[in-house]
Structure 1
Amino acid sequence: MGGAGQNGPSIRRAPDGAQAGPQGLSTTFRRETLRIAEARRVAVEYLAASQRGSEHPVSERATDAVQLVVSELITNAVKYGRGLIELTLSRTGDTLTVTVRDGGTTLPVTRSADPGRVGQHGLEIVAALSQSLEIRPEAAGKRVTALIALR
């Protein structure tokens, strides 16, 4: 499958007369074949679709931040998770919610900043780029959710 979503992205659209553009996107990846660049591409395409008809386009800086957050969360799920990986994106106004789920039960831990540490700065980066970061166990694994300001 070469890293493409298991069944392709599923996009929810606003009902007739509501805000233009997709309301959310959810896609599932196989850990074994996932390329992180594919997850970033899905996020960029979702952002582009979500801003069609919007008075407030997403800045390049915000798009870069979203790509980095998606990359770090997906990388964490590939390295430390189990089973399928689900990426869900949902835009509400000027905020994007990025959620990554996998079947692993070990929750990632945010560490304090340490410029001498090599590696393991992913969640530190995600927390710095996000308005909030939530890590929760679920019946089938774990969920990591980041809220990112788009303006």
Structure 2
Amino acid sequence: MPPEEDRGPPDDDSGLRAVGQVRCVARGFWAAAAPEGEDAVDAVLLVVSELFTNAVRHADGVTGFRLEAGPGTVTVAVHDASTAPPLSLPLDATRPGGLGWHLVQELSVDVGVEVHAAGKTVTAVVPCPTGIRPQG
């Protein structure tokens, strides 16, 4: 399959429902990790939504998902079954889409892609207020 092929939305709306569900999980995580940190919640939710949506639309769906609180950060990791790395398309106001990967990179202090035998993991470290409670 060519890397620039857009598979479009899934045949049913299960992928879209899953994005809504993962946003609810992320909100619950945020409420526990940074109850006073409303300023950065939108950035975390946007990164979660974009990474999850990209996996659904371009990589045959999500195979795993993780949120991790660190000192002043939240790490979002989305696993999928595709080994193809995300593509950074040129910004084009005349073409719909193509902004998600740019947004993830802009909102994150570190973005990584790790390819492994079962697919890949895309990780984004989002800066958050100092009031976040690291896990562990």
TM above 0.5, one fold? yes
Amino acid at match of 2:26: A
| Ranges in structure 1 where 5+ consecutive residues have no aligned partner | 1-30
2:51 matched to which residue of 1? 73
Amino acid at match of 1:44: R
CA root-mean-square deviation: 2.0
Change (3 A) 1:40 1:97: same
Provide, for residues 72-93 of structure 1, a one-character-per-residue CA deviation record: whole Å limited to 9, x for no partner. 0000010111354311000012
CA contact (8 A) 2:55 2:61 kept: no
Distance 1:73 1:149 in 2: 16
Amino acid at match of 2:102: E
Deviation for aligned residue 1:100 = 0.3
Q: Secondary structure of the residue that 2:77 maps to in structure 1?
A: strand
- Which of 43, 57, 61 is the equivalent residue of 2:26? 43
Amino acid at match of 1:89: L
Q: For 1:1-151, list aligned pairs within 5 A.
A: 33-34=14-15, 35=17, 36-51=19-34, 57-58=36-37, 60-82=38-60, 84-151=62-129
Give the number of the structure with larger relative contact order, counting CA–CA contacts within 8 Å between residues 6 or more apart.
Answer: 2
Change (3 A) 1:138 1:119: same
Change (3 A) 1:81 1:111: same
Aligned residues: 116
Alignment TM-score, normalising by the size of structure 2: 0.76
Amino acid at match of 1:77: A
Amino acid at match of 1:121: L
Identity of aligned residues (%): 38
Deviation for aligned residue 1:67 = 0.6
The worse-fitting range, judged by mean Cα deviation, of 105-114 and 91-100 is 105-114
Provide, for residues 99-122 of structure 1, a one-character-per-residue CA deviation record: whole Å limited to 9, x for no partner. 000111221122344444431111
Structure number having the greater helix percentage: 2
Q: Secondary structure of the residue that 1:77 maps to in structure 2?
A: helix
